[in-house]
Amino acid sequence: MDTKNSTAAGSTPAVADTKPILEVDGVTLQYKTKEHLITATYRVGFDVYPADRFVLLGPSGCGKSTLLKGIAGYMKPVEGAIRLKGREISDPGPDRVMVFQEFDQLLPWKTVKQNITFALRNGGKSDNAAEADDIAMEYIQKVKLSGFEDTYPHMLSGGMKQRVAIARGMAMEPDVLLMDEPFAALDALTRLQMQKELLQLWEDTHFTVLFVTHSIEEALIVGSRILVLSPHPGQVKAELNAFDLNHENVGTKEFVEVQQRIHDMLFADRILEDEIQTGDKG
Amino acid sequence: MDKIPDVLVRPEFEASDIGKASTADVARKLTLIERISDMHSVRKLSILVIVVIVWEVYSRLSGVSELILPKFSATALALADAVFSEQLLYMVWNSITVLISGYAIGIVIATLLTTAAATTRFGSDILSTLTAMLNPLPAIALLPLALLWFGLGADAIIFTLLHSVIWPVALNAHVGFMSVSETQRMVGRNYGLRGIVYVVKLLIPAAFPQILMGLKIGWSYAWRTLIAAELVFGGSISDTSEGASGGLGWFIFVSQMDLRIAYVFAGLFMVILVGVVVETVVFNKIESLTVRKWGMQAR
Amino acid sequence: MSTSSNNKKTAIPQLVLRPEFEVSDIEQAQTSEVARKLSTLERIWNIDGVRKFVILLSLVVAWQAYTVGFDVEPLMLPSFWVSFSTLIRDLFYSDLIWKVWFSIKVLLIGYSAGLFLAAVLILWATVSRFGSDFISMATAMFNPLPAIALLPLAMLWFGLGTASLVFVLIHSVLWAVALSTHSGFEGVSQTLRMIGRNYGLKGFGYVWKILVPAALPSILAGMKIGWAFAWRTLIGAELVFGASSGSGGLGWYIFESSQNIDTDGVFAGLFMVILIGFFVENVIFRNIERRTVNRWGMQR
């Protein structure tokens, strides 16, 4: 990937000093449906550095979820390579924990605590039941679910389920936490709350997170760095900084400007497509 | 505590012109061979062919006695012979008519029971008590009583068939009605549905996955009961005055008594055929016209 | 009503503007009955078990009254009391209890062997596509084939004895369980599968820790159907062929009684069949369900 000259702000480390934790290098991903072979992304490349809140943003059909599945190791790229800490990814593994959008990602036959200890024990994070219990309780407390540790998932609300999933993912302390539109199925107020809480959690340890969303606003609030993808097939459109934007300056001039800029980027294609399909439409 | 890493700030960039992706395959049709080998029916058919070949080869080469395992070819010939010269189809028809009458009457009675259960709590209690007791009772165990009460004949078989159908059908329909969601009930009443219209237009479709499951279980119990009854008491029950009559179960029993094992296999083929037709053709058709079309799979 | 055309603008109602307000202090509700206890009688009658017991009792009373009152021929329909006494007599002073034990023993052997074979088949199906195709083919063919129809063949292959019974029992359990477990596995959500692999589960661990619990509702349903088929097959098989296997079981007891026109014995046998069936379905399976799928909210 071609990076232009550095204009980095003062106090933070320079690009040259730090190695990217995750490198996605010219990746093309394809999958089969019953009748067709679909190219989801075409030669997509980007680097994720430690402590990044890296957002993959794009309209539906830009292959952002497929890309995340590729990084998680569920599918292999047709060309290009995905490297985590310099090592090429071949299989799913607990060094990249995935948080899904679907509420059924919690194992319904395990309580909140057991869901987390299950991950710790099977993911090789802990081989001691008591230790796993302690870690689980710590993270349950972090996501503000103390008192619910022995509850089965079907008794929890959607927001609480997603919190458990996030706690489970964070408890694994993965190299990179992969989040596939984790708040998309929540109501607007809960979503806002969850975005804030995620940022608070990030403040504690600055974990690296790769976050997929189709909401420009969410991308700007949650992300520090945003990769904008174009659809059919997914290709890199731009990579932008957003580390100084969060829920506090939603609606400010600065925020709206970036929002508009991304909107134009994504919308430009849409108009072009319309023109192609329906002829000239002033 | 480790030092918390900081966000690394890098320059932004924007692709001014992506250009069209130059891969040939944004979306490509799969090739014919790719699609054929994905087809379930093709793969299943080849398995069937393999099994038949293994059977034939094994029975020829191992010299296993015809009384233990007849060759596949011998079985096929026996089936043809039974169909063309021993009126096997007529026997199958005998079984099916008895089965259908038992099944139909059973469903009517189950409907009455379920309606009573759906409208009053007392009816609901009676139904759940009766099903809890009688559903685990194999219908075939009632055959001795049925023979005593109705004498030797189709009536006795129909009585046991009724018993095998009523309880699973009523039980599942009842459970289905009870689990129709409160929202759907309120929607129905909102649009002014009442009484029998409410049951027919709202409760039955909403509970249809469960009802269908009950019908399927009822069918499979009835089919098993019928074959068992014919196998066990077929001789005394069937109307032997015409010579070649009785049902499919009776055919199997007689063939086994005469040590015509190829004909036993032929009879079993017929049993499988009827079962497969009912389960995969009739019920699948109903499913694809209703619950699958409506996106409410039976579960 | 007239929104369809826009030249009747006058008919459109306009917004009514009114002042805003805010309640500063909400008082306690003044009604006397926010929640009232039901009377004791109402509550007792609301217990399901009580009502069902009353129904059962009235059925028994009706039966007794009918047979005694109308002087029904006991060979056709013995009274409840006579049938019940026969049951007690044969259980404690005759060998009925041994016959029951014999049936249960054979049933358990056949059932567990069937479950084991189903598990082997399913494992094969999860590791290979050929296995999976084979299972769908075999279950489609053999599931509709009543196990009892195989009894003549079984007796030819294994002789007259327990082995034949076990063979048909296996057949009655195996396909039902394999069918529903297989479709249960196929219905496990993609998300759960990815979660399992994300935490590094592979092979047997993946099947045991993810697929089996996730498909447990289907597996249990299959085990219940398998039990029901096995129970029906066993009673049916014993009704005819039980005698030849030496001691004979519960089904044989019913058949013997009916041959001797000992109708109260038939009813005593039926009581026993109902009792065992009720116990397995409403105590054993109900408890397993309560502790697993109901508790996990996977099934109401």
DSSP string, C181-242: HHHHHHTS-HHHHHHHHHTT--HHHHIIIIIHHHTHHHHHHHHHHHHHHHHHHHHHHHHHHG
pLDDT digits (tens, 9 = 90+) for C214-251: 999 889 989 998 998 899 889 888 876 655 555 578 88
Mutate to test the interface with C, among A96, A109, A160, A178 (most CBs of C within 10 A): A109
Instruction: Kindly determine whether residue C263 and residue B148, on different chains, have CB atoms separated by under 8 Å.
Output: yes
Instruction: Kindly determine whether residue B13 and residue A4, on different chains, have CB atoms separated by under 8 Å.
Output: yes
Question: What is the spatial distance between Cα B42 and Cα B28, in angstroms, rounded to a whole number?
Answer: 23
B window 206-265, beta carbon within 8 A of C: 217, 220-221, 223-225, 227-228, 231-232, 249, 252-253, 256, 261, 264
For chain A, how many structural domains are there in total? 1
pLDDT digits (tens, 9 = 90+) for B51-94: 889 888 888 888 778 777 888 888 888 888 888 887 788 888 88
pLDDT digits (tens, 9 = 90+) for C63-92: 889 888 888 788 888 888 888 998 888 888
In 3-state terms chain C splits into helix, strand, coil percentages (rounded to 5) of 75, 0, 25
pLDDT digits (tens, 9 = 90+) for B200-226: 888 888 888 889 989 988 998 899 888
Question: What is the spatial distance between Cα A52 and Cα A185, in angstroms, rounded to a whole number?
Answer: 24
Query: What secondary structure does DSSP assign to B180-195, as a single string?
Result: S-HHHHHHHHHTT--H
Facing residue for C144 by CB, picked from B140, B144, B279: B279
Subunits with 3+ C-beta pairs closer than 8 A to C:
A, B
Tokens 């976050």, located at residue: A211
Instruction: Kindly determine whether residue B252 and residue C149, on different chains, have CB atoms separated by under 8 Å.
Output: yes
A236, A62 Cβ separation under 8 angstroms: no
- Whether A2 is covered by a domain: the verdict is yes
The CATH architecture of the domain made up of C83-294 is: Orthogonal Bundle (1.10)
pLDDT of residue B104: 94
Facing residue for A98 by CB, picked from C198, C292, C295: C198
| Chain length of chain A | 282
Facing residue for C254 by CB, picked from B141, B179, B225: B141
Instruction: Kindly determine whether residue C133 and residue B43, on different chains, have CB atoms separated by under 8 Å.
Output: yes
Question: What is the spatial distance between Cα B164 and Cα B174, in angstroms, rounded to a whole number?
Answer: 17
- Whether A66 is covered by a domain: the verdict is yes
Q: Where do the domains of chain C lie? A: 40-72, 83-294
pLDDT digits (tens, 9 = 90+) for B182-193: 778 877 777 777
Instruction: Kindly determine whether residue B47 and residue C133, on different chains, have CB atoms separated by under 8 Å.
Output: yes
Average pLDDT of every residue of chain C? 83
Mutate to test the interface with B, among C231, C270, C293 (most CBs of B within 10 A): C270
- Closest-CA residue of C relative to B214 is C225
Domain that holds residue A17: 1-50+61-94+217-282
> What domains, with CATH codes, occur in chain B?
32-57+71-85 (no CATH), 86-289 (1.10.3720.10)
Facing residue for C199 by CB, picked from A69, A100, A123: A123
Q: Which residues of C touch A98 (CB under 8 A)?
A: 194-195, 198
pLDDT band at B21 (very low <50, low <70, confident <90, very high): low
Subunits with 3+ C-beta pairs closer than 8 A to A:
B, C
Facing residue for A205 by CB, picked from B4, B30, B38: B4
Mutate to test the interface with C, among A107, A126, A156 (most CBs of C within 10 A): A107
Q: Which residues of A touch C194 (CB under 8 A)?
A: 69, 72, 74, 92, 98, 100
Question: What is the spatial distance between Cα A91 and Cα A72, in angstroms, rounded to a whole number?
Answer: 8
CA of residue C264 relative to chain centroid, distance = 28
Chain A closest-CA separation from residue C197 CA (Å): 6
Q: Which residues of C touch B129 (CB under 8 A)?
A: 52, 55-56
A229, pLDDT greater than 90: no
Q: Look at A178-182, A263-267, B49-53, B159-163 and tell me which has the smallest mean pLDDT.
A: A263-267
Average pLDDT of every residue of chain B? 81
- Closest-CA residue of C relative to B164 is C232
Instruction: Kindly determine whether residue A74 and residue C292, on different chains, have CB atoms separated by under 8 Å.
Output: no
ipTM tops the 0.85 cut:
no
- Whether A243 is covered by a domain: the verdict is yes
Tell me the pTM: 0.79
B249, B197 Cβ separation under 8 angstroms: no
Question: What is the spatial distance between Cα B148 and Cα B145, in angstroms, rounded to a whole number?
Answer: 5
Q: Which residues of B touch A272 (CB under 8 A)?
A: none
Chain B closest-CA separation from residue C28 CA (Å): 31
Percentage of residues in chain B having pLDDT higher than 90? 9
Token pair of C160, please? 């007259």
Instruction: Kindly determine whether residue B141 and residue C251, on different chains, have CB atoms separated by under 8 Å.
Output: yes
- Whether A90 is covered by a domain: the verdict is yes
- Helix or strand (DSSP H, E) at B205: helix B204-206
Give the C-alpha distances (Å, rounded to integers) separating B153 from A33, B226, B230, C72, C148. 56, 13, 11, 23, 21
Question: What is the spatial distance between Cα B216 and Cα B210, in angstroms, rounded to a whole number?
Answer: 10
Give the C-alpha distances (Å, rounded to integers) separating C151 from A3, B3, C286. 77, 75, 31
Q: Look at B37-46, B285-294, C152-161, C185-194 and tell me which has the smallest mean pLDDT.
A: B37-46
Query: Which residues in A have their CB inside 8 Å of a CB on C?
Result: 69, 72, 74, 91-94, 96-98, 100, 102, 104-105, 107-109, 118-119, 122-124, 152-155, 172
pLDDT of residue A281: 36
